[in-house]
Amino acid sequence: MLPFGTFGSCVASRRDYEWSMTTSGGSRPRRSEAGLLGPRVTQEFLDRLAARVAASGRAEPIPVEMPATGALLGEVPHSTPEDLATAAEDGRTAQRDWARVPVTDRAKVLFRFAKLVLDREAELLDVIQLENGKARRDAFEEIIDVAQVCRYYARSAPSLLQPHRRAGALPVLTQTSEYHHPKGLVGVISPWNYPLTLGITDALPALVAGNAVLAKPDTKTPYSALFAAELLEEAGLPPGLLQVVVGPGQELGSSVIALSDFVMFTGSTRVGRSVAAQAAERLIDYSMELGGKNAILILADADLGKAVSGAIRAAFSNTGQLCISMERMYVAAEVWRRFTRRFVAATRALRLEHAFDYRPDLGCLISAGQLATVARHVDDAVAKGATLLAGGRARPDLGPYFYEPTILTDTTPDMALYSEETFGPVISLYRVSGAEEAIERANDSNYGLSFSVWTRDLARGRDVASRLEAGSVNVNEAYAASWGSVDAPMGGWKESGVGSRHGQNGLLKYTDAQTVAVQRVLPIAAPNFVSQETYARAMTVAMRALQRLPGRK
């Protein structure tokens, strides 16, 4: 048995709820009138957040489960397509005034919001853990990420959005400027795995750029986005600018796309294709982060102590439910035996538990469906000959959706997890002859989101990284270095996405670029007193002269 921790920390939460029958005869969780759900979260607090959902109340409310226990956390209103239309109209009304607010004042809202996120850190961590089931150390990453993104766009937005002079058609005579205007209404469709980070950080640059946002968080994790919306208004965001709607994607996704001027989507590649098709039909822009089958490369000269620690983070952070976590590991033959032995031992020592403190290393999976996918992938691989080095089983003794961190080797292309995204605490190890084989095999995938390389030779690490077909590559880090470098773009190649978040494009994509050219003294045309032929000859001479100026080739 693996030395994972016990589940004593959720007993109080489990007592807070009871299961009963609805009046219609179907089984449905019902809340008792209990107090604290977590150390700092009450049902009254969650109900206040739920009241922020843009919904008329005509549809049945949506139950939100506590994944760690299977108990009911709360219920949120169920938005309908008609509610979305109203929310979009309200957002557009608020946006017209917001766009006229100086960008420096819009940026101040982000600065104040970042402070509030840090001030309310403990409550935010509780909410994230309650609705997602992740370990507190993984929830903390979301707090730091939101604060960092806020700081970056609050500081950079004024310079990025101010008019910029561009080279004119004719030097001196043509004065050309580039302007950026807000798109209008931005739709943000976010998943459940990072409910605060993905629920709000894509909205922040859209808001500071002068847009309104129609946000649709996943129905499994709506409270983090709603909490962020409350804090944004406390920071000074005008009411109505950020509209939060809640409902299944198959019900509301098309409406979000139909009502928005730009769509930011994070989710599966399969759904991403549908989003792209609908956006293309309307001729609106979109950006998407999609699936991944990320690879970590352990080169022969890697520092094995650091590599083992990094590989643990790469494979098992957020219980493997991380778009940029690693599911494939290529290990050089020279260090295969030593690295594998240490990696397996470190994995078996991880603490699997739910607690509102920093002791657990891993939390639980999000749902019965995700647990089923993980178990199916592992069981299929083992049945077809894969070797199980650690984990490989569910832990219902800890909670309904706990699964041990799992290491496999001897996996082959006929196994589902060989090429499909598992999105759980499962990694497959492959022995390779060296860096060249590792690069070739890592690139042999339809996905290209985030890779990791471990070596003592940093120049070699950069060279290997530049040859990997992925939007982000970390050298001697699991994933946080590239993700945390918010001044640089973060996006996927191949089937892992279109466009990027972070960096300048993470803000400017939410704007329409406009060129304004002012022609002075002479027009760009032959004057009435000059023949067209003479004009053409003069322009040719002028162009030849321009080609000889520095910077013009």
Q: Residue 479: which CATH number? A: 3.40.309.10
Judgement on whether residues 335 and 239 belong to the same structural domain of the protein: no
Judgement on whether residues 268 and 369 belong to the same structural domain of the protein: no
Domain extent at residue 247: 81-290+504-511
Task: Give the pLDDT confidence of 138-185 residue by residue, as tens digits.
Answer: 999 999 999 999 999 999 999 999 999 999 988 899 999 999 999 999
Q: At 23, is the pLDDT very low, low, confident or very high (cuts 50, 70, 90)? A: very low
Judgement on whether residues 335 and 400 belong to the same structural domain of the protein: yes
Asked if residue 19 has pLDDT above 90, the reply is no
Whether 383 is covered by a domain: the verdict is yes
Whether 25 is covered by a domain: the verdict is no
Judgement on whether residues 534 and 416 belong to the same structural domain of the protein: no
Number of domain units in the chain:
3
Task: Give the pLDDT confidence of 210-223 residue by residue, as tens digits.
Answer: 999 999 999 999 99
Judgement on whether residues 300 and 368 belong to the same structural domain of the protein: yes
**Under a CB-based contact definition with an 8 Å cutoff, are residues 454 and 302 in contact?**
yes
Mean pLDDT, residues 354-358 taken together: 97
d(CA 398, CA 257): 40
Judgement on whether residues 126 and 271 belong to the same structural domain of the protein: yes
Q: At 115, is the pLDDT very low, low, confident or very high (cuts 50, 70, 90)? A: very high
Query: 523-526: long-range contacts at Cβ-Cβ below 8 A with a sequence spacing of 24 or more?
Result: 524/169, 524/170, 524/174
- Percent of the chain predicted with pLDDT > 90: 88
Whether 1 is covered by a domain: the verdict is no
Whether 151 is covered by a domain: the verdict is yes
Judgement on whether residues 417 and 434 belong to the same structural domain of the protein: yes
Mean pLDDT, residues 30-53 taken together: 82
Judgement on whether residues 265 and 377 belong to the same structural domain of the protein: no
Judgement on whether residues 304 and 384 belong to the same structural domain of the protein: yes
Judgement on whether residues 395 and 254 belong to the same structural domain of the protein: no
Q: Residue 134: which CATH number? A: 3.40.605.10
Whether 499 is covered by a domain: the verdict is no
- Give the pLDDT score at 543: 85
Whether 90 is covered by a domain: the verdict is yes
Task: Give the pLDDT confidence of 222-269 residue by residue, as tens digits.
Answer: 999 999 999 999 999 999 999 999 999 999 999 999 999 999 999 999
**DSSP assigned state of 37:** S
List the catalytic residues: 289, 323
d(CA 355, CA 239): 35
Q: Enter the pTM of the model.
A: 0.92
Whether 48 is covered by a domain: the verdict is no
Residue 64, phi then psi, degrees to nearest 5? -115, 125
Cα–Cα nearest to 203, from 233, 179, 247: 233
Judgement on whether residues 530 and 457 belong to the same structural domain of the protein: no
Judgement on whether residues 136 and 224 belong to the same structural domain of the protein: yes
Whether 497 is covered by a domain: the verdict is no
**CA-CA-CA-CA torsion for 200, 291, 320, 390, nearest 10 degrees?**
180
Three-class SS state of 16: coil
